[in-house]
Amino acid sequence: MASSNTVLMRLVASAYSIAQKAGMIVRRVIAEGDLGIVEKTCATDLQTKADRLVQMSICSSLARKFPKLTIIGEELVVWVDPLDGTKEYTEGLLDNVTVLIGIAYEGKAIAGIINQPYYNYENNEKQQLREHRNEAKAGPDAVLGRTIWGVLGLGAFGFQLKEVPAGKHIITTTRSHSNKLVTDCVTAMNPDDVLRVGGAGNKIIQLIEGKASAYVFASPGCKKWDTCAPEVILHAVGGKLTDIHGNVLQYHKD
């Protein structure tokens, strides 16, 4: 047990820096201006150069640092979403985008890392403008991007835990993959307010930061790489993520 804990902590620490590097790649692709957009199954199911480069970067870094990972792959599975919120990324809604690295042991999600490459980007742009005009020096506002991480039983870090105001029921749901079932389900919950934003990682961040009380996504399309890392962060602070029947999700490799 001690040795598997050591492996887990080494893996979490590596995944943290790997996710930060991934965030830099996501920003570099935007800065270079050529997103290399490819349609996968339809116009709302897209892939960009950032998805491809980050996927390669994360997989090669993990393979280099943990050459034996596949040997214990039966029990320890890493679920990677190189870029969550691709549709919004292609539309310039940059703070919807995250990089997700989730770690599951014996089918249970136990550790997760979320990099949000464009966290603070509006403040950051204003700060750069002020610096340009020599009005202010770089301050904490100027820091672009952040990494949130969590381990079950240890906690979640890199953000400030908040709850929505008491008595308010705010639902967050998909912005670009909606259908009648999703809207019916949201309506049935009789919310005070509905937020429609991109990304599974982004929506879980809204829950832990008190912008929404529940995330409803009642349709296929969301994958286990979308939920593994975010689920751990949510569970580490006392939240709960289930399928539509209320069952916990399993993260075995198959």
C-beta atoms surrounding 108 within 10 Å: 16
Nearer to ligand AMP (CB atom), residue 145 or residue 201: 201
User: Minimum distance between the CB of residue 22 and Mg ion, rounded to whole angstroms?
Assistant: 12
Q: Which of 52, 35, 51 is nearest to 85 (CA)?
A: 51
Q: What angle do CA 10, 140, 143 make, to 5 degrees?
A: 60
Residues that bind ligand AMP (CB under 6 A): 45, 84-86, 174, 176-177, 198-200, 221-222, 226
Q: What angle do CA 178, 220, 89 make, to 5 degrees?
A: 55
C-beta atoms surrounding 96 within 10 Å: 24
84 contacts Mg ion (rule: CB under 5 A):
yes
Active site residue 86: yes
Is there a contact between 85 and 174 (Cβ–Cβ < 8 Å)? no
74 annotated among ligand-binding-site residues? yes
226 annotated among ligand-binding-site residues? yes
The residue sitting closest to Mg ion, measured at its beta carbon, is 84
User: Minimum distance between the CB of residue 130 and ligand AMP, rounded to whole angstroms?
Assistant: 33
Q: How many residues does the chain have?
A: 254
User: Minimum distance between the CB of residue 199 and ligand AMP, rounded to whole angstroms?
Assistant: 5
- Among Mg ion, ligand AMP, none, the one that 91 touches (CB under a kind-dependent 5 to 8 A) is none
Active site residue 34: no
83 annotated among ligand-binding-site residues? yes
Nearer to ligand AMP (CB atom), residue 127 or residue 172: 172
CA-to-CA separations, 66 to 53, 107, 151, in angstroms, rounded: 20, 20, 19
Question: Which range in 63-71, 82-90, 182-190, 231-239 contacts Mg ion by CB under 5 A?
Answer: 82-90
CA 105 to chain centroid: 19
84 annotated among ligand-binding-site residues? yes
C-beta atoms surrounding 114 within 10 Å: 31
Nearer to ligand AMP (CB atom), residue 39 or residue 193: 39
Number of residues that bind Mg ion (CB under 5 A): 4
Tokens encoding 250: 């399993």
User: Minimum distance between the CB of residue 166 and ligand AMP, rounded to whole angstroms?
Assistant: 27
Binding site for Mg ion (CB under 5 A): 81, 83-84, 226
Could you tell me which residues are annotated as the binding site for Mg(2+)? 74, 81, 83-84, 226
Q: Any idea which residues carry the catalytic annotation?
A: 51, 86
